[in-house]
Structure 1
Amino acid sequence: MQPRWDDLQDFLRVARAGQIARAAAAAGIDATTLARHLRRLEATLGQTLFEQSREGQVLTAAGEALLVAAEAMQQAASGIVATDADPDRLSGVLRVSVSEGFGTWFVAHHLRDFTAAHPDLTVDLVASSGFLSPSRREADIAVLLARPQTGPLVSSKLTDYALGLYAADLYAARHPLPVEPAAVRDHPLIGYVPDLLYAPELRYLAEIHDGLEPRIRSSSINAQYRLVAAGAGLGVLPRFIGDADRSLRRVLPERTIRRSFWLVTHQDTRGTKKVRAFREWLTGLVAAQRGRFG
């Protein structure tokens, strides 16, 4: 017995969204109906396609295999109904997961160039405190702070980048800035909420001086930037953020922190046209503006 096409489409919705409720809301259908379609598909195939986790639905090995086939079917079907004869024209949805700072301060400033070149492609730019997982098919492509060590992933270094300690001019006008690392502890520090860190690479202050702890804390790098710019204290910022604001100045410029961005895709989808096009566009853009990353 062959699976129904509408059941396969619902399977794709849940595989990409990671949750039945989220997929149903995005599609404008009832979650109970969507769940029933998934059960019917599993019964037709005689396989379990998802496992239930605290976060939602996670693909099984059988689900991963079906996802590759279903995406190929959907791409072929899109080509049949396409009105444009250009076989290289991109369509569908591309979901990109990036860190909040990189997404807001770099990708968002240039994304119009990519979307203008591909008018039939919808791009989801997920720029937040945390990452969607390419291995669980939550994103088509991700820019991560560390190279993944496990999973069916393909990764390459996008760029190294530098961070530094910053203060606003208005803060410096009221407070003498430290000229040695030990003196930083005498100033209010801005940083991440320790138990909400989504990556160990975000632990910065110890690389300025041992024992430093933030007194004003936020899970958002954009909020931290706003706090520094408002004169609330000193904070570590990526140089592509801090150097972009002329009202900020480097404190202890000899103390430079180094990190890297890694470009990550699932091994089964890395060769699809939309993923390849975005990867090549972003890699070229970063290379052309390498100076912004210190």
Structure 2
Amino acid sequence: MQWDDLRFFLAVERAGTLSAAGSRLGVDATTVGRRVDRLAQSLGATLFEAGPQGHRLTEAGEQLLTHAEAVERAVLAATGDVGGESSRLAGTVRVSLPEGFATALVAPALPVFHAAHPGIALELASTHGFLNPSKREADIAIMLNRPTSGSLIVSKIGDYRLGLYASRSYVERHGMVTDRADLRGRTLIGYVPDLIFWDALRYLEEIDTALSATITSSSIAVQHAMTRAGVGLCVLHHFMAQDDLTLVPILPEIVITRTYWMVVHADLRRVARVAAVMDWLRSIAPRAVL
């Protein structure tokens, strides 16, 4: 058994398909399949079952996964210690984070970080779900739900608040909302129900279980733009909306509070470039507490 074959095995388990694993490794799907087959033959076991949803681990594959991850951790630690990677403020750091956090907090703060750490290449992944540090899909993840399993270090980096907003033009056309009952007759903007990946994003249900959005988008940036355009009312982050002069708060007594959690794999928390990004994210998070 060779470590490199285990690396291909882990890539397939994390990506779900041979082609996706190949994209991550920089090789074609045929090469990935050949390396995984070689590993399976050396162990005398079937490691994956291929189906419409991709490659899933067999029982033997599940048993190998624990050992393969342990080998990976040892290789990464050795590489860092011997090659100096653990103390070098250079290299790539991938961060998985919610779109609102990325747009309103991270992007404006990037020039200062890049000037201080020009050797660190940031990959900011704002997806419909999140990239899992446990599966090495990301180095750091900012999450709305606190994970409870995996070899992860989890820390709370801040609470943030949301409220209802509408454009000034909408209020001029339709009048100010007077109470919660009035909301039931208004056009509401929100997330596409089938694409809500965190229950924490179900804001309207928290205000009134009878409320549902009639204009939807999976993107909070698009929701913000639609609200500015006067389409309807929307729950927006205060840190995105309160300084937007085109918007006015609606029923300001309605306050929704959520929490941002920072998650990193235990093996990476002391790597200098990862630690630098974590410190930076902690420094900008308080701007969300409004």
CA distance in 2, matches of 1:229, 1:62: 52
CA distance in 1, matches of 2:210, 2:18: 45
User: Which amino acid in 1 is paired with 2:66?
Assistant: A
Post-superposition shift, 1:19? 4.7
CA distance in 2, matches of 1:77, 1:69: 12
Name the CA shift for 1:141/1:135 in 2 (closer, same or farther; >3 Å): same
Q: How many residues align?
A: 282
- TM-score, normalising length: structure 2: 0.84
Runs of 4+ with >4 A deviation: 6-19, 41-44, 46-53, 55-59
Q: Which moved more, 1:12-21 or 1:93-102?
A: 12-21
Name the CA shift for 1:216/1:24 in 2 (closer, same or farther; >3 Å): same
Match of 2:113 in 1: 114
- TM-score, normalising length: structure 1: 0.83
Match of 1:63 in 2: 68
CA distance in 2, matches of 1:61, 1:190: 44
CA distance in 1, matches of 2:220, 2:44: 43
CA distance in 2, matches of 1:48, 1:284: 49
Could you list the per-position Cα deviations for residues 135-192 of structure 1 after superposition, in whole angstroms to 9, with x for gaps in the alignment?
A: 2221111111011122222211110000000001111121101121111111100111
- The reply to whether residue 206 of structure 1 matches residue 205 of structure 2 is yes
Match of 1:131 in 2: 130
Residues 42, 48 of structure 1: 8 Å contact kept? yes
User: Which amino acid in 2 is paired with 1:153?
Assistant: L
CA distance in 2, matches of 1:182, 1:274: 51
Residue 126 of structure 2 aligns to a residue whose secondary structure is strand
Post-superposition shift, 1:12? 7.2
Post-superposition shift, 1:232? 0.4
Post-superposition shift, 1:238? 0.9
Could you list the per-position Cα deviations for residues 122-143 of structure 1 after superposition, in whole angstroms to 9, with x for gaps in the alignment?
A: 2211012221112222111111
Structure 2: gaps of 5 or more residues: none
Higher relative contact order (CA 8 A, sep 6+): 2
CA distance in 1, matches of 2:11, 2:269: 19
Map 1:78-227 onto structure 2 (within 5 A): 78-79=83-84, 88-227=87-226
Residues 16, 139 of structure 1: 8 Å contact kept? no
User: Which amino acid in 1 is paired with 2:95?
Assistant: V
CA distance in 2, matches of 1:15, 1:101: 30
User: Which amino acid in 1 is paired with 2:97?
Assistant: V
Counterpart selection for 2:34 from 21, 33, 36: 36
Match of 2:289 in 1: 293
When the two chains are superposed, the root-mean-square deviation of aligned CA atoms in Å is: 2.9
Post-superposition shift, 1:57? 6.8
Query: What percentage of aligned pairs have identical amino acids?
Result: 41
CA distance in 1, matches of 2:113, 2:39: 36
Residue 263 of structure 2 aligns to a residue whose secondary structure is strand
Q: Which moved more, 1:145-154 or 1:161-170?
A: 145-154
Name the CA shift for 1:279/1:19 in 2 (closer, same or farther; >3 Å): farther
Name the CA shift for 1:35/1:237 in 2 (closer, same or farther; >3 Å): same
Post-superposition shift, 1:37? 2.9
